[in-house]
Structures are given as C-alpha cells and as structure tokens.
Amino acid sequence: MSKPTTSLKSILAEFLNLNRTLVSDDMNKTLSIIGSYLPDSADYTVENFAPLTDAWTWKIPERYEVHEAYLETEDGQRIVDFRDSPLHIISYSLPVDCLLTWDELAPHLRFSEKRPAAIPWEFKYYERDWGFCLTKNTFDSLLPRDKKYHAVIRSSFITDPARGLRVGVGVIHPEGGANPEAGEIIVQAHTCHPAQANDDGSGVVSAIDLARRLAENPLPAGSMSVRFWFGPETIGMVAYLSRHEDWIPCLRGGIFLDSTGNQNSLALQRTRQDTHLLDRVARSVMKKRFGEFREGEFAQVAPNDERIINGPGVNVPAISITRFPYPEYHTSDDNLDVVHDDLMVEAAEVAEEIILIYASNYLPKRTFRGPLFLSGHGLWVDWRENWALNRAIEKIMMRLEGEHSVFDIAEQVGLDYWVTREYLGKLQAKGFVRVLPFPSETSAD
C-alpha cells in the first residue's frame, strides 16, 4: 500500500543524501522510496539490467559501491571524508590508496570557482579515473604545499547479473482500463544525482504528485495510459528502450520533469519536431496559465532523456517542463533550501493539464451524410444558453473527416477543448462519430 500524502519536500529528503550513482545500493533504496509513494494502481515495478551487457551501442555499467573514501595529510589531518557528503568523491572513482605530493594530488581535486563555499558534483562514469571534490575555500587553505597527502578510496565495481542497473516503472490507466489503440505517454525524471535536491529530486517528486493526481482523477475512458519512469539519466532510458523495443510503437509522447522546485519561472522545452501537436497543447496550457512564458527549442533549455525518446531510431515527440537554470546547479548548494513545495506542485499541475488534453485527444470521424438533424437527435444547442457553441456547431461538422483532432477543431472554431470534446462525446454516444486513435509516429526499426 502506498504511503499517505505528505509534502513533496519531505519525500525528497528521504533520498536526497543517498549516494545515488548510476548503479548502486543507494539507487535501489531510492527507487524503493519512490515506489512507496506512488499510488497502488500504478502497479510499480523495478527492472534489473545485468552489468556489462549491451544496450544498443552502450554497455550497462557495473554496480558501484563506496566503502570508504577520504583525503588527509600525511600526519593524519582529515581534509575531506565521504561520510560527510557523497559529493566528496568523483562518482565512479577508481580505488586508490597512496601517498602523494601536492603536484601529484592537485590534478585529482575539483572545486567550484563560482561557489567557493560549495562542493561541486562531478562524475567519471565511463572515463575511469579518481578524484576528490572539495570547496574552493578548503582547497585554498591547503598551505604550505610542501606536504604529502594520503588519498584513500575503497570502492568496488560489481558485475553480478542480479545486481545490475535498475529503473522503476508504474502505469496509470484511464477510466475503464488501458486502451491499446490509444497507446501511452511517458513521464520521466532521473534519480542519479546524489545530494542534489533540485536536479532532479524535484522532478521525481513532481512526478509522484502527478501520478497521484491522475490516479485520483483518471483520464476519460479510451484515453492514453500514462507511464511513469524513474532511473539514471541517459543509460537508464537506453537500457529500458533497448529491452522493450516492441513497446516503442505504443508510445505517443513524452514529458520530462526537471528542476521543478527552484525560484525561476517554469519553461517549456519543445519537441524535436518543434510544431507537433504536443508542442501546441503544451503552449496553449502554458499561455492560459501564465500568459507570457519561457520556452526553447529541443534540448536547448535543459537537455535530458527527451534526447533518447525523441532521438534517432525512436523519435517520439517529447517535451520538458523545467525551471532551469539556477545558480546552485551541480553543487552542494543544491539542497532543500533551493526547492519549494508550491513550485514543485505547480509543475505537476501544468504537466497534468497537458496530459489531460493530449492523452484524451483523438481524431473524430463522422458516420453520417448530409447536415445532421440536430434537434431531432437532441443535439441542438440553444444559442441563449451557449452562443459560442451554437455558432460553432456547423464549423465542427465540417471538420469530422478524421483529419482534425478534437484539439485541432477546438482551436479552429475558437472553443475550449473540453467544451468541444464534451459535444463530440454526445455525437459519439448517438453513433454519429467514431473515434480514430493517433497512429504511431516512431521511427524505431
């Protein structure tokens, strides 16, 4: 049973400081925490992908565990310690235990010039090396530099197939259950940034909130299902899609939730197609809610896994909803003070509005000929009660050839999407309209 509703920041706090590297025990703990807050109806599962196996042109990385890591002077003065923060070592650092001169050590130290009191977050997932991250202030204090330094990283790279890369997946269906013809839209957030609250812990908890909303207020019957995906950035989605190629044609769109909690305006990053129906729906939601809003081209605001969903060989339209950029990015300053519950909730609300329209949209196709006898079938609308709909009905009837979606028609005749959909639903109930689902647009082969 899922845990009761609580603040999004408190959920984030449960996994914030775990060492959530690509493949690790702390990643497993994080995925378990996420699952505990998703609605039971999501039927959340965690999938395992064996280390060193192929995933398209990639290989699944080994499980990485850090048992101990510290840097100290040769007389035992501790400078940094992994126990204080997972950011103190470069993620996926090789094991090391040696005494070094300053000149030997310095190339292995990382700090932030822009934020001298913060520890930077750095990683070497595939370019194997080792290193420590520390504040610029600490780095500057290491004087005189004629000492020797003891560098210790006790880490393991594990290839046990049962302890591989993991991703968490849950699906929320519309009223009445899944409609295979309608397909699915996927909501993504990545989990692999240790000690980073906004990037992308905020996106994770916004997605949890969104899943709860869609479970409590399901999409209309016949709509798309909504798949929620959590895992390590890039390699996680590559692994998932490479093992589920038969599912790709079911996918009709994607939304990546990223950096949703910081105090910046919400931005829309458009699809690779740029003027896709998903872009138009998202822009209309953002405009209705905010008036003027930030937006940018594909992968130009906050590039993430939409580059895979909407990339070569898949090319399913995918947008991002984000508050990026923010000054604390990739440092220890990206903490709980940066994120705000109301802003993370707002991102979930915007994503929900987009999904409600996009996933419930369809292509209406008439089954009648000639002008429809509206009053004879209880379909006439009194102009004194709804002038706009009364005046739009004839225009609607001219657009029921299966070429224009409900959203298209609403835009073209100047009506609200839900008003248009409700009226077309009455035609459908009378047998005058049948529903055509959107075909798959994927280029997967």
Rounded mean pLDDT of 348-368? 98
Task: Report the percent of the chain where pLDDT is more than 90.
Answer: 96
Handedness of CA 395, 397, 403, 408 (dihedral sign): positive
Task: Name the helix (H) or strand (E) containing 186.
Answer: strand 184-190
Backbone angles phi, psi at 140, to 5 degrees: -65, -25
**Residue whose C-alpha is closest to residue 328's, from 87, 91, 118, 135:** 118
Cβ neighbourhood burial of 59 (10 Å; 0-12, 13-18, 19+) = middle
**Residue whose C-alpha is closest to residue 366's, from 405, 392, 411, 397:** 397
**Residue whose C-alpha is closest to residue 67's, from 51, 86, 40, 48:** 86
Backbone angles phi, psi at 102, to 5 degrees: -60, -45
Q: Which two tokens stand for residue 125?
A: 């997932």
pLDDT (tens digit per residue) in 364-401: 999 999 999 999 999 999 999 999 999 999 999 999 99
CA distances from 427 to 2, 359, 377, 430, 437 (A): 39, 20, 9, 5, 17
pLDDT (tens digit per residue) in 285-335: 999 999 999 999 999 999 999 999 999 999 999 999 999 999 999 999 999
pLDDT (tens digit per residue) in 132-174: 999 999 999 998 899 999 999 999 999 999 999 999 999 999 9
Please give the model's pTM, rounded to 2 decimal places. Answer: 0.96
pLDDT score of 144: 86
pLDDT score of 134: 98
Q: Are 258 and 322 in contact (CB under 8 A)?
A: yes
Q: Are 442 and 316 in contact (CB under 8 A)?
A: yes
pLDDT score of 2: 77
